[in-house]
Structure 1
Amino acid sequence: MDEKDFLAECFETHRTHLRAVAYRMLGSLAEADDAVQEAWLRLVRSDSDGIENLGGWLTTVVGRVCLDMLRSRTSRGEEPLDVRVPDPLVGHVEAIDPEHQAMLADSVGLALLVVVQTLGPAERLAYVLHDMFAVPFDEIAPMVGRTPAAARQLASRARRRVQGAATVPDADLTRQRKAVDAFLAAARDGDFDALVAVLDPDVVLRADTGGEAAAKVVRGAAAVAGQALTFQRVSQSARPALVNGAAGIVTTVDGRPVAVLGFTVTDGKVTAIDILADPERLGRLEVEDLDG
């Protein structure tokens, strides 16, 4: 085995971890793959003999690449001003894909990622690397051009925003599924009262349909229930799924996904619904046969 093959083999042992870092930073599976590929190219061009901790080095490189990508989005005016529903990880209800399981080792649901996507690039980097991957502030500081104390403050501000906006879901997947099934049944029946009963009074629904407009945001049980009634027709083709490791729904037309719904269920009530209905982005997602 030559040196490049050995390096490639070592890199592959870190790929899933690096993709998880990039996914949390960017909210895009395709861009996450691009960031990981860029890290590989930088590794090949580097003096790998001088790298003592390859995993740490690659994590730092991916963080820098993602930071550059986020700043580029902002300079081009592509970073949404409101909310953007990240690419969901969709799997069969019976068993989550092993790679998805690794990507979601700390139960990163769509609702949490939506909030992370609203953070500025430097705050996002500090929060994701430190709070999700335990990267020390001494290593984060040079990446954002700050002192370690300032990097700590960035993560602290980000943490407060995330904790203030993202609810913690029930750990019991069966309890989650019971609430989501009740929501789906009520939507199919057009039962407004049953919908309100399964929704938290402060529930928030975010629907990302793509295009120039920011995601639509609806708040409150009555408003969300009213919106869900418009879902009655397409709900007939809805199938249960795991969406970012939590109970969710995929709706299809002619076998193609037209919407992925991720639910946050807390104390048996639906506290957040995040919908991706952007045809272009859905077309790039890998969605398993949920009937199989």
Structure 2
Amino acid sequence: MTEQSARRDDTTGPPAGPDPATEVFVAHRNLLFTVAYEMLGSAADAEDVLQETWLRWAGVDLGAVRDRRAYLVRITTRQALTRLRTLRRRKESYVGPWLPEPLLTAPDVAEDVELADSVSMAMLLVLETLAPTERAVFVLREVFGLGYDEIAEAVDKTPAAVRQITHRARAHVAARRPREAVSPDRARAALAAFQRAVETGDPQDLLDLIAPDVVLLTDGGGVVRAALHPVVGAAEVIQVLNRIDPAVSARPAHINGHPALLFYRGGELDTVIALRLDAGLVTGLYAVRNPEKLGRVGRETVMRR
């Protein structure tokens, strides 16, 4: 057979569709990514977890699986738990504050208030204070609404133990999360005011927006210049903000379901700054400068519950 006729033969007949295992995995992929990302705070590691999940899912007998969504979530959770323990050791040697990898998200994520809250930089940092199993249980129960029996299978605990872990994790998170939910409109207004204040450098405008005990965390990963310790207090944070190079341009964007600022230098993304709001004031600023964490800001990441 000639090469030309072989090419013609390739186009004859109906195209082969994906196999059932692939169709199921693709249908739930955005959900699985969101589960892995909320547990790890790293898109790169979440993608690795999804690859490992697929390898295990591809060998499963679908006829024996009653709830395919729950089965996939269970595989993803177990793989994420294994990787989470490895990440914790890696973070111990991280240079300066560690911040989650920022994701450019579609505006519809912000409209799902619970999802936006769960993937916010502030919440992901709260989740970092939980033990791995507590984090998995909290995410699966509070964010994705899985039943105690399903969670128990995912984390190799009894349903009774999962109930206790949920209660403990819920109380831990409640004591550390923002005190009130901020509507998307209020968040956008606060961001616009913050951007104007940063661009004008007016100390009074910044003082009107920033809480006295505001905390600024900067993540350079030892690759680019960043504060190696948290900057605490309005006066100290304003000094840092006033040192932003006037040549750097700021653009608003949705990062992790919330309005944030993207700072560009010479057309290249330099820094992502996300805000935490409490009672109408900025209480937290999360500045990610590590270039290894900025790759997902160039394209939207779809997140689902």
Alignment equivalent of 1:231, drawn from 221, 235, 244: 244
Gap change, CA 1:170 and 1:145, over 3 Å in 2:
closer
Alignment equivalent of 2:253, drawn from 241, 248, 252: 241
Listed as ranges, the gaps of 5+ residues in structure 1 are none
Q: Which one-letter code corresponds to 1:241 in the other structure? A: A
By how many angstroms is 1:252 displaced? 0.9
Distance in 1, matches of 2:178 and 2:220, equals 23
Partner of 1:78: 90
Q: Which one-letter code corresponds to 1:229 in the other structure? A: N
- RMSD over aligned CA atoms reads 2.9
Distance in 2, matches of 1:134 and 1:288, equals 28
By how many angstroms is 1:183 displaced? 2.0
TM-score by length of 1: 0.84
Superposed CA deviations along residues 230-272 of structure 1, whole A, max 9, x for unmatched, are 22536x4111111112111000122221111111233332122
**Matched ranges for 1:105-254 at <5 A:** 106-107=115-116, 108-168=119-179, 170-211=181-222, 216-233=229-246, 236-254=248-266
Gap change, CA 1:152 and 1:226, over 3 Å in 2:
farther
By how many angstroms is 1:165 displaced? 1.7
By how many angstroms is 1:33 displaced? 1.3
- Bigger mean CA deviation after superposition, 10-19 or 173-182: 173-182
Q: Which one-letter code corresponds to 1:230 in the other structure? A: R
Partner of 1:57: 71
State the SS of the aligned residue for 2:230: strand
Distance in 1, matches of 2:240 and 2:286, equals 13
Listed as ranges, the gaps of 5+ residues in structure 2 are 1-14, 301-305
Q: Which one-letter code corresponds to 1:218 in the other structure? A: V
Partner of 1:67: 81
Q: Which one-letter code corresponds to 2:75 in the other structure? A: V
Distance in 2, matches of 1:136 and 1:287, equals 36
Q: Which has the larger radius of gyration?
A: 2
State the SS of the aligned residue for 1:230: coil
Distance in 2, matches of 1:179 and 1:120, equals 33
Superposed CA deviations along residues 69-109 of structure 1, whole A, max 9, x for unmatched, are 112334xx213489531111225xxxx266x6799861131
Gap change, CA 1:106 and 1:180, over 3 Å in 2:
same
TM-score by length of 2: 0.81
Q: How many residues align?
A: 280
State the SS of the aligned residue for 1:155: helix
Partner of 1:272: 284
Residue 87 (str. 1) matches residue 101 (str. 2) = yes
Superposed CA deviations along residues 100-136 of structure 1, whole A, max 9, x for unmatched, are 6799861131111111123221111111111111222
Paired residues of 1:85 and 1:215 also in contact (CA < 8 A):
no
Residue 35 (str. 1) matches residue 44 (str. 2) = no
By how many angstroms is 1:141 displaced? 2.9
By how many angstroms is 1:42 displaced? 0.6
Distance in 2, matches of 1:184 and 1:286, equals 19
Gap change, CA 1:63 and 1:210, over 3 Å in 2:
same
Q: Which one-letter code corresponds to 1:244 in the other structure? A: N
State the SS of the aligned residue for 2:204: helix
State the SS of the aligned residue for 2:173: helix
Distance in 2, matches of 1:197 and 1:101, equals 25
Gap change, CA 1:247 and 1:190, over 3 Å in 2:
same
By how many angstroms is 1:169 displaced? 5.7
Paired residues of 1:180 and 1:270 also in contact (CA < 8 A):
no
